[in-house]
Amino acid sequence: MKRTCITGLLLICLLAPALRPSALAASRIKDIASFEGVRDNQLSGLGLVVGLNGTGDRRQTVFSTQMLTNMLERSGITVSPDQMRVKNIAAVMVTALLPPFVRKGSRIDVTVSSIGDAENIQGGVLIMTPLKAANSDIYVTAQGQIAMGGFSASGGGSRVQTGHPTVGRIPNGGSVEKEVPVDLSVKTQLMLVLHNSDLTSASRAAHVINDSVGRPVAVALDGRTISIKIPEEYSGRVVEFMAVVENAKMDLDAPARVVINERTGTIVLGKEVKISSVSIIHGNLALQVGTILDVSQPAPLSQGKTTVVPQTTVTAQEEKAKAVTLRDGASVEEVVRALNSIGASPRDIIAILQAIKAAGALQAELEII
């Protein structure tokens, strides 16, 4: 059953793209590339969560009490950090992504993560926290009730935990205070950047853009960047032109690559992977060594002594080697079928693929993650 599931997963998930029509495999430009300058901006800030039920930072986390002291001083209350005895607060790092084209007053989601030794921030409330960009300007202020995806409960020496109770989100908890200026109306040229660098894909993208516009306005500068000149008829209508470019469809050209995750035994083979003529011999050797301690008793009324006599047993079991031969230029389907026929497990397939690559027969990039 395990071997059948492995084959079904590889054949269905990896070979299905090669079996369906090319028209269905076409991708929109907006899904594989983005315009230069139109991007998210990362924001972060230090904040304080209050209202916890005794699960906040402990005494060794001094910066949480210092943050509370500074907050109280701004309210006219002077308290020394050494006099603080609180368990219901936690220092947190607040992060968010500021999307392009947002305006003042727009709301975005924020993520709250404990940076101290708080056990749980469930049920806490984030006090107003300014979020800054890399230029130290404040773009968003965050505040609100934390929504958790997990929980933690303990009692009587037992503890139950689901998910990650020290990280939560505040939906629409960030209010945009400053906009990122992006003026498209004055542009006469656009730069389109592919998510993955590939010369063939960049050339194809330029061709489909020219076909969609009806004139040669796009040219591939390298394997990732495409320069697009805005036609005169779209002057003042740059957004409309960008929409035309985004919805152009093209067939991607993916490199031949085999990705292996040795920790989980996951193997992903691209449909362009080919293998030269090679023979594979696969076999398992099981070796077991054990020791049994026997007690030797002397005869009655004799002068002998009771001794412990170890008896070592060694058993070896070797399966019959299984061999399979692949023809020159074998496809992914043939490789999977051949490895499955010799009863190879995911771990065995990983070792076999590494050996084929070392032999120079694997015509693909082997990536181990």
Question: DSSP letter at 247?
Answer: T
Query: In the prediction, which pLDDT does 247 show?
Result: 92
End-of-domain residue from the set 159, 176, 193: 176
**Chain centroid offset of residue 133 CA:** 23
Q: Is residue 72 in some structural domain?
A: yes
Alpha helices in the chain (DSSP H): 2-19, 22-25, 29-32, 62-74, 199-213, 238-246, 332-341, 346-358
For residue 170, give the 3-state DSSP assignment. Answer: strand
**Both 34 and 45 in a single domain?**
no
Q: Are strands 365-368 and 257-261 parallel, antiparallel or unpaired?
A: parallel
Query: In the prediction, which pLDDT does 143 show?
Result: 95
The model carries a pTM of 0.65
The first and second tokens of residue 225, run together, are 């960047």
- With 0-12 / 13-18 / 19 or more C-beta atoms within 10 angstroms meaning exposed / middle / buried, residue 74 is exposed
Structural domain boundaries, residue 312: 257-295+308-368
The first and second tokens of residue 78, run together, are 């002077």
**Both 126 and 207 in a single domain?**
no
**Both 273 and 342 in a single domain?**
yes
**Both 312 and 196 in a single domain?**
no
The first and second tokens of residue 203, run together, are 């050339």
Residues 96, 134: Cα–Cα separation, whole Å: 13
**Both 169 and 46 in a single domain?**
yes
State the first-to-last Cα distance of the chain, in angstroms, to the nearest integer: 27
Residues 322, 335: Cα–Cα separation, whole Å: 15
Query: In the prediction, which pLDDT does 322 show?
Result: 67
Report residue 128: phi and psi, to 5°: -45, 125
Q: What is the pLDDT of residues 147-195, one digit of tens each?
A: 987 666 666 566 666 667 889 999 999 999 999 888 888 888 999 999 9
Report residue 46: phi and psi, to 5°: -90, 135
**Both 95 and 153 in a single domain?**
yes
Query: In the prediction, which pLDDT does 118 show?
Result: 85
**Both 52 and 93 in a single domain?**
yes
Q: Is residue 362 in some structural domain?
A: yes
End-of-domain residue from the set 154, 176, 198: 176
Q: Is residue 114 in some structural domain?
A: yes
**Both 271 and 336 in a single domain?**
yes
**Both 274 and 336 in a single domain?**
yes
**Both 261 and 230 in a single domain?**
no
Q: What is the largest CA-CA distance in the chain?
A: 117
Helix (H) / strand (E) containing 254? none
Low-confidence ranges of the chain (pLDDT < 70): 1-25, 59-61, 81-85, 150-163, 282-293, 295, 301-302, 311-324, 326-329, 332
Which amino acid appears at position 120 of this protein? N
Q: Is residue 17 in some structural domain?
A: no
End-of-domain residue from the set 126, 150, 176: 176
**Both 129 and 148 in a single domain?**
yes
Give the residues across from 192 on adjacent strands: 35, 226
Residues 229, 147: Cα–Cα separation, whole Å: 46
**Both 231 and 274 in a single domain?**
no
Q: Is residue 206 in some structural domain?
A: yes
Q: Is residue 170 in some structural domain?
A: yes
The first and second tokens of residue 300, run together, are 């009655």
Give the residues across from 34 on adjacent strands: 193
Q: Is residue 13 in some structural domain?
A: no
Domain count, the chain: 3
Query: In the prediction, which pLDDT does 119 show?
Result: 84
